[in-house]
Every structure is written in structure tokens, then in C-alpha cells.
């Protein structure tokens, strides 16, 4: 019997984020994936501003920015006519409080490769070709059987194993919700001859139904979405060349009603399945893992179990809200996104971890905004890492910021330790401006 502290089933974006969070806290874990090799497709390509901030904290923002691009404008083709329309994403300048204001496109396989490389830097790796087959649990541990026949005993199991989750099924939890469209949608990464790679081409009335070709940055490929049964030889007169990857999915909106059963947790698509509209699925999974990682680390170090209860209390309402948004966007076929999808305003205000009173625009439970400090550094530079932070303003207000960047408390006394993570003090000696009207002294 192999003994570990945390077994992570699934090395998609959710499982990889979880592993990085544990690795950078020196918590032993095993990360297994049923796939024989890394996932190759572009699938979840839209990275939201809040996830970019998390990537900044995890130490992967530079390669993510290098391999990605802003979303292109739409070019809508109807018969002989072509109309230019807006873009799914914005093109804003960074502000003091929002360093990454725009939706950023990176093919999912590249995001995963960057997360794997970061995990390797931290000494971790993915065991491919190793599926979780089944498990049992009691008050002390989880015992898992892997597809290799190996038995593993762990303190906790994190089910990050996607929409068809073995973990979820074994817990007998159902994904409740609905399919938005019973007809499957084809998604594929393809080369197209003679088509402008700077625009997202849409044919609302293509032969066989709707077809879209979104250029994937720095790849020479387009992501095809279509109602066709298979990748066609040509799309609206443009010959399809190499097909690098293809798959089908049924857009649906579903989630479980529990994210935790005893020592077993669900995160990402294992707990909530999103339609691609609004680009929320991958982002919500990464944020689940970012929420759970430091809490699992605390529990493994012998901390009290009540912290683990806050995972579901915080993330389940967020998943429900995000699913409602994705469904509305899909049903209205809206291409206008505004700030609704950037996930910066998602908060944990009603969490048991949030206390104190609002200070100006700062509210316990909200994401702590970035700010420029007098020495030229950014507040986020000081938050980066696994520690918690205490911001002490020149006139004595204290703001405790969690390891995952949310405001835990406003107005409480100094503390050296936050759930086992050290607290670093930040004492700007002048008024800190947080973009526009936001400021605190």
C-alpha cells in the first residue's frame, strides 16, 4: 500500500492548479491522469482576468501572456456578404486595480503544458496512463485502487477528473441541470487554406448549419465549431487541411449539490459542467482548486477541519451563479460580455471566513484589488506567494488578505498566522490609490 497525503485524480487545468498549490507548500501528493498522454486540443481557450491574476500568483503569467492573444473581431459571412462585428473580449488598458483587464486566448493544451512545466519546476509531475478505478473512505483516510492495480492510501482525495468524473459517480452525486442543445456540437483544431487568421469567421447559415472558425494564436490553426457530424472537407469554399484534434460535446448546464463528502472533494468539471458560452468552465475549475489547495494544505498539517467546510460554502454559490450566467449567454446568443464574465467581482462575502466592516470600496470577502505603491511596486507583488498578508494603512486601518487574494477581515488586530500560513505585513507610508474612486487611507 502506497501512502500519500493527497491523491489528485485528473490532471486537467483544475488538477494541475491543485497540484501547484500543494507543491509550493511542500505538501506531498500524487497527481494521476487516465489519459495516456497530455490533452492536445484547444477546447477551453478563454482565460478570464481573475484567472490571469491567479496565474500571476502561481508564477506562470509570463508564458501565458507569451503564447496567447486578445480575442479577434468577428467576421460574419452571409452569402456573398461579410460583416465585421465586435469581439467577445475587451481591449482595455490595465488600470491600477486591474492589471489584466481583458479576456486572453490560449489553447487549453498550451495552458496545461505551462502548468505542467511550473509543476515540474516545483518538483511535481503527472502520472499519465493511471486512472482512479475505485475508492473507499472512513474517518481517517481514503483507500484508492488505481488502474495499474496499485493501492494508495491518502488523507484526502481531490476529484478533478472532469465531466465524466469517476469520483463523482462513486460518491453517488448527480449532475443536476439540463442540456441546452440535444444536438452535439463538433469542435476541432484545423488548418484552413486562404482564410484570414486575424478574424473569427462565422457562417450562421453554412451548409449543415452554423459554422465558426476562431484563429488560435501562434499555431496557424483555427478552432472549428459546427453542427456538422464530422469535420467537413471544406467550409464555405475554404479547403480544410490538417485536423490536429477533434471532439464532440453537448452544451449543458449542470452541477452537483455537494462539493465534499467526508475526505473526498470535487472540483472543476467534475462538480459543474458549463457550455462554452462566456468562457467560464476552465476558469471556474482553476478557481475551485485555488480555493481548496491552501485549505487542504492546512488540514494535512493538522489544522482544524472547519476550514475545509468553507470550500463548499464559498465555491458552490459561485458555481451556481456562473452556470446561470453561461446559460443566459448561450440562450440569448449574446456576443457582448462587458464585465459580467471576467470573474473579478465574484466574492465570498457570506463566507464564515469573511468578517469586519467595509472600508470605502473594500469589503470583506471581495477580491483584493491591485494598487501601485509608492516604491513603484504593485500590491500584487507583495501578495504573490503562499502567505497571507496584512495591509496596514498610514492611518492605522488593518486589512487581512487570504493566501488566495480575498479580503478576510477589515479592522481586526495584528495576527502572525492565518490558518497556518505566515502573515506578511505591508505598510505603505502614504495613501494607496486603487484606481478611480477606490482608495483607502
Ligand X SMILES: Cc1cc2nc3c(=O)[nH]c(=O)nc-3n(C[C@H](O)[C@H](O)[C@H](O)COP(=O)(O)OP(=O)(O)OC[C@H]3O[C@@H](n4cnc5c(N)ncnc54)[C@H](O)[C@@H]3O)c2cc1C
For ligand X, the closer CB: 10 or 101:
10
* Distance of closest approach, residue 271 Cβ to ligand X, in angstroms: 8
| Chain position carrying cell 493538522 | 302
Please report, as residue ranges, which positions from 29 to 58 form the binding site for ligand X (by CB under 6 A).
32-35, 39, 43-46
* Distance of closest approach, residue 143 Cβ to ligand X, in angstroms: 15
Distance of alpha carbon 157 from alpha carbon 165, whole angstroms? 13
For ligand X, the closer CB: 87 or 435:
87
| Chain position carrying cell 489553447 | 107
Write a three-state SS string for 331-385: HHCCCCCCCCCCCCCCCCCCCCCCEECCECCECCCCECCCCECCCCCEHHHHHCC
Please report, as residue ranges, which positions from 155 to 184 form the binding site for ligand X (by CB under 6 A).
160-163, 166
282-293: burial string, b at 16+ Cβ within 10 Å, e else: bbbbbbbbbbbb
* Distance of closest approach, residue 441 Cβ to ligand X, in angstroms: 37
* Distance of closest approach, residue 166 Cβ to ligand X, in angstroms: 4
Q: Is 283 in the site for ligand X (CB under 6 A)?
A: yes
108-121 and 13-23 are packed helices; what angle lies between their axes, rounded to 10 degrees?
Answer: 20
* Distance of closest approach, residue 362 Cβ to ligand X, in angstroms: 27
* Distance of closest approach, residue 27 Cβ to ligand X, in angstroms: 19
* Distance of closest approach, residue 176 Cβ to ligand X, in angstroms: 17
Q: Is 18 in the site for ligand X (CB under 6 A)?
A: no
User: Under the phi-then-psi rule, with left for phi > 0, alpha for psi from -120 to 50, and beta for the rest, what region is 365?
Assistant: left
Q: Is 9 in the site for ligand X (CB under 6 A)?
A: yes
- The residues, any chain, with a CB within 8 Å of residue 37's CB and separated by 6 or more, are 128
For ligand X, the closer CB: 148 or 425:
148
Among 63, 99, 107, 268, binds ligand X (CB under 6 A): 268
Please report, as residue ranges, which positions from 188 to 227 form the binding site for ligand X (by CB under 6 A).
none
The site that binds ligand X (CB under 6 A) totals a number of residues, namely: 36
13-23 and 281-300 are packed helices; what angle lies between their axes, rounded to 10 degrees?
Answer: 30
Q: 397: how many CB neighbours lie within 10 A of its CB?
A: 15
For ligand X, the closer CB: 68 or 420:
68
What angle is formed at CA 428 by the lines to CA 422 and CA 429, rounded to 5 degrees?
140
Chain residues binding ligand X by CB under 6 A are 9-15, 32-35, 39, 43-46, 108, 131-132, 160-163, 166, 187, 249, 268-269, 274, 276, 279-283, 285
Amino acid at each position: 500500500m502506497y501512502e500519500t497525503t493527497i491523491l489528485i485524480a485528473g490532471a486537467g487545468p483544475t488538477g494541475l492548479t491543485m497540484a501547484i498549490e500543494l507543491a509550493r507548500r511542500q505538501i506531498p501528493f500524487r497527481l494521476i491522469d487516465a489519459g495516456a498522454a497530455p490533452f492536445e486540443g484547444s477546447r477551453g481557450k478563454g482565460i478570464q482576468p481573475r484567472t490571469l491574476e491567479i496565474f500571476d500568483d502561481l508564477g506562470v503569467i509570463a508564458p501565458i501572456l507569451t503564447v496567447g492573444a486578445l480575442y479577434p473581431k468577428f467576421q460574419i459571412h452571409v452569402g456573398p456578404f461579410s460583416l465585421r462585428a465586435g469581439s467577445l473580449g475587451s481591449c482595455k488598458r490595465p488600470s491600477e486595480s486591474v492589471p489584466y483587464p481583458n479576456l486572453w486566448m490560449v489553447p487549453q493544451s498550451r495552458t496545461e503544458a505551462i502548468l505542467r512545466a511550473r509543476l515540474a519546476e516545483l518538483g511535481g509531475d503527472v502520472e499519465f496512463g493511471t486512472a482512479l478505478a475505485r475508492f473507499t473512505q472512513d474517518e481517517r483516510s481514503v483507500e484508492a485502487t488505481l488502474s495499474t492495480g496499485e493501492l494508495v492510501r491518502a488523507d484526502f482525495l481531490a476529484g478533478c477528473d472532469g465531466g465524466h468524473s469517476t469520483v463523482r459517480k462513486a460518491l453517488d452525486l448527480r449532475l443536476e441541470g439540463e442540456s441546452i442543445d440535444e444536438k452535439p456540437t463538433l469542435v476541432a483544431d484545423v488548418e484552413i487554406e486562404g482564410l484570414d487568421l486575424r478574424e473569427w469567421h462565422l457562417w450562421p447559415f453554412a451548409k449543415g448549419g452554423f459554422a465558426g472558425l476562431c484563429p488560435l494564436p501562434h499555431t496557424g490553426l483555427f478552432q472549428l465549431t459546427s453542427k456538422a457530424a464530422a469535420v467537413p472537407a471544406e467550409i464555405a469554399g475554404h479547403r480544410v487541411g490538417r485536423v490536429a484534434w477533434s471532439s464532440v460535446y453537448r452544451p449543458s448546464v449542470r452541477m452537483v449539490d455537494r462539493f465534499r463528502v467526508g475526505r473526498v472533494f470535487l472540483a472543476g468539471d467534475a462538480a459543474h459542467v458549463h457550455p462554452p458560452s462566456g468562457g467560464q468552465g476552465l476558469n471556474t475549475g482553476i478557481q475551485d482548486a485555488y480555493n481548496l489547495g491552501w485549505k487542504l494544505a492546512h488540514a494535512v498539517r493538522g489544522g482544524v477541519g472547519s476550514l475545509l467546510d468553507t470550500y463548499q460554502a464559498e465555491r458552490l454559490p459561485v458555481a451556481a451563479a456562473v452556470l446561470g450566467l453561461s446559460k443566459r449567454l448561450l440562450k440569448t446568443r449574446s456576443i457582448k460580455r462587458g464585465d459580467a464574465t471576467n470573474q473579478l467581482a465574484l466574492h465570498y462575502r457570506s463566507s464564515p471566513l469573511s468578517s469586519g466592516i467595509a472600508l470605502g470600496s473594500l469589503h470583506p470577502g471581495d477580491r483584493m484589488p491591485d494598487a501601485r505603491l509608492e516604491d513603484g511596486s504593485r500590491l500584487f507583488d507583495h501578495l504573490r506567494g503562499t502567505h497571507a498578508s496584512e495591509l496596514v494603512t498610514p492611518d492605522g486601518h488593518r486589512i487581512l488578505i487570504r493566501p488566495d487574494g480575498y479580503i478576510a477581515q477589515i479592522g481586526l488586530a495584528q495576527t502572525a498566522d492565518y490558518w497556518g500560513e505566515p502573515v506578511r505585513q505591508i505598510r505603505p507610508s502614504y495613501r494607496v490609490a486603487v484606481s478611480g474612486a477606490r482608495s483607502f487611507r
